[in-house]
Structure 1
């Protein structure tokens, strides 16, 4: 789990996208494509080595197999993520969750947990969620 011990802010963003994708125990192609597209196009990832995404995903999966792995992950994400990127992190998680056209109950619970762990205001969270829904409407 050394990969997760030293998270950069970008690693933390990727970890949250991966964890919301894995929440329903099925990582869909649309979710992986969305994560890769976000990494390729958003300014926050301008200097991110996108090959690190695979290592981060494996580290997240490893943590999720541990008894307190999710708590450990959230502690490390909070430590690596500056306050100014917390709403960004939640928006990215919402985009990944919405990318496959539906939200499973487990994904909704994971988003709620991320919102709580990152201390995202309810009103701001609702606006972020509505934006994600609008972007992924068919």
Structure 2
């Protein structure tokens, strides 16, 4: 992880979780990449974010996923660098990426469950966030 020259920014953490949910089913789909790019390019939380960092974060996530305890390490980085006020934002972005391709794989569902647990997202809040993601990505 030599590319991690400084602590992760909150935005890095958000990007890392979006990449992680996309990669969780071992197939990063175009719709998911477009959703990540759209979030980084359009959401106010990313206004001052260097979009080139997405590549760095992708490398870090993929490196971590190759390690036995990589997911635990990822959540450690997230807990250390993401302010609590952005936990629900992180979960919402992960949900949006997970449903972007129109399907939810079992691995994505398990990772979303793990994100809820790690970020201590209340079950009722999680359900509201999930419902909003479903509504935004409903096919015609």
TM-score with structure 2 setting the length: 0.96
Instruction: Give the 4+ runs in structure 1 shifted more than 3 A.
Output: 2-5
Shift of 1:24: 0.5
1:21 alignment partner in structure 2? 22
TM-score with structure 1 setting the length: 0.98
Kindly indicate whether residue 55 of structure 2 is the aligned counterpart of residue 58 of structure 1. Answer: no
- 1:80-117 CA-to-partner distances (Å, cap 9, x unmatched) read 11011000000000000000001001100000001100
| RMSD of aligned alpha carbons | 0.9
- The count of residues paired between Structure 1 and Structure 2 equals 138
- In the TM superposition, 1:122-137 aligns within 5 A as 122-137=123-138
Shift of 1:6: 1.7
Unaligned 5+ runs, structure 1: none
Shift of 1:2: 3.5
